[in-house]
C-alpha cells in the first residue's frame, strides 16, 4: 500500500510514529491519552490508497449507527477512595479528553461520577461559561468513599431510553476494576437499553487486570496497567 497523505484512524498498523511514542512512553497519562485517541479513532495515521486485509471483529451486541455520524458520549467515572492518587489524576484527564473529543466532533458529552451507594454526581460537559465552572469545581474535588456502579448504570440506561437525543450514545466507563457485581434488575435494564439503542460500553481499567465485573459488562475493554507502578518506574 502507498501513503497518500495523513488522516485520522483507530488502526495501530498505519499510525504515525508520534502516536507510537505516546504508547511507548513511561508516563501513564500519555499512554492513556493514546488509548483515548484510538478509541475515538483520532490517531494521526498514514492515508493508504490500497486495500488492507483485517480480521473481522465479532461484537458482543448488535450496533446501530447512522452512517457518518457519531452519537453522544456518556462518561461514567469511578470516584471511590481506591481511585485516589495517580488514578484520580488519570480519571480527571480522561474527563477533559472526553470533553475535548466531543467538542471537536460536535458530540454532546455527559458525566456520571459515582462512588458509594446513593453517591452520584452528574453534569453535562460543554464549553459554556456555566459548563466550565461546573467542570472546574469537579476537578478540584478529591476522590473518596465506597464503590457502587448501580446508580451510574441505571442513570445511563434511563438517559439512553427516555431521552431521544441520547439514544445513539456510547458509554465510557473508567475505573480501577474494584467493583461489586451490579444488581440483576439494574443489569437487566442496562442490557435492554443497549439492545434497543445499539449502544456499547467501552471500559478503561486503570489497573493490572480488568476484573470479572468489567469483563462481563463491557463491549470493549482497555487495560492501562498499574498507574502507581508505572509512575515509580518513570521517575
Sheet holding 201-205, edge to edge: 120-125, 109-114, 73-78, 170-175, 201-205, 220-223
Quote the pLDDT of residue 202. Answer: 93
The residues, ordered by sequence, that sit 6+ positions from 14 with a Cβ below 8 Å of its Cβ are: 45, 46, 48, 52
Going by pLDDT thresholds of 50, 70 and 90, the confidence category of residue 235 is very low
Q: Greater confidence, 74 or 146?
A: 74
Q: Greater confidence, 33 or 154?
A: 154
How are the residues of the chain apportioned to helix, strand and coil, as percentages rounded to the nearest 5?
45, 20, 35
pTM of the shown model: 0.68
Going by pLDDT thresholds of 50, 70 and 90, the confidence category of residue 186 is very high
pLDDT in tens, 36-85: 888 888 888 877 665 556 676 666 655 555 444 578 999 999 998 889 88
The residues, ordered by sequence, that sit 6+ positions from 113 with a Cβ below 8 Å of its Cβ are: 77, 79, 120, 121, 122, 138
pLDDT in tens, 192-229: 988 888 888 999 999 998 889 999 999 899 998 888 76
Share of the chain above pLDDT 90, in %: 27
pLDDT at 234 over 50: no
Instruction: Indicate the pairing of strand 170-175 with strand 73-78.
Output: parallel
Quote the pLDDT of residue 74. Answer: 94
Amino acid at each position: 500500500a502507498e501513503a497518500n497523505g495523513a488522516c485520522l484512524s483507530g488502526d495501530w498498523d498505519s499510525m504515525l510514529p508520534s502516536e507510537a511514542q505516546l504508547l511507548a512512553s513511561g508516563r501513564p497519562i500519555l499512554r492513556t491519552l493514546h488509548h483515548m485517541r484510538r478509541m475515538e479513532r483520532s490517531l494521526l495515521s498514514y492515508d493508504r490508497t490500497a486495500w488492507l486485509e483485517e480480521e473481522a471483529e465479532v461484537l458482543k451486541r448488535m450496533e446501530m449507527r447512522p452512517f457518518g455520524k457519531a452519537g453522544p458520549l456518556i462518561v461514567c467515572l469511578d470516584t471511590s477512595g481506591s481511585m485516589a492518587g495517580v488514578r484520580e489524576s488519570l480519571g480527571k484527564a480522561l474527563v477533559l479528553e472526553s470533553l475535548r473529543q466531543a467538542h471537536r466532533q460536535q458530540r454532546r458529552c455527559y458525566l456520571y461520577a459515582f462512588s458509594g451507594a446513593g453517591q452520584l454526581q452528574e453534569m453535562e460537559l460543554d464549553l459554556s461559561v456555566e459548563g466550565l465552572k461546573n467542570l472546574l469545581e469537579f476537578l478540584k474535588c478529591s476522590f473518596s468513599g465506597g464503590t457502587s456502579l448501580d446508580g451510574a448504570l441505571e442513570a445511563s440506561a434511563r438517559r439512553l431510553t427516555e431521552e431521544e437525543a441520547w439514544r445513539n450514545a456510547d458509554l465510557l466507563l473508567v475505573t480501577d476494576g474494584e467493583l461489586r457485581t451490579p444488581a440483576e434488575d439494574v443489569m437487566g435494564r442496562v442490557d435492554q437499553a443497549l439492545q434497543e439503542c445499539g449502544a456499547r460500553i467501552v471500559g478503561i481499567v486503570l489497573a493490572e487486570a480488568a476484573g470479572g465485573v468489567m469483563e462481563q459488562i463491557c463491549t470493549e475493554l482497555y487495560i492501562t496497567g498499574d498507574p502507581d507502578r508505572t509512575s515509580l518506574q518513570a521517575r
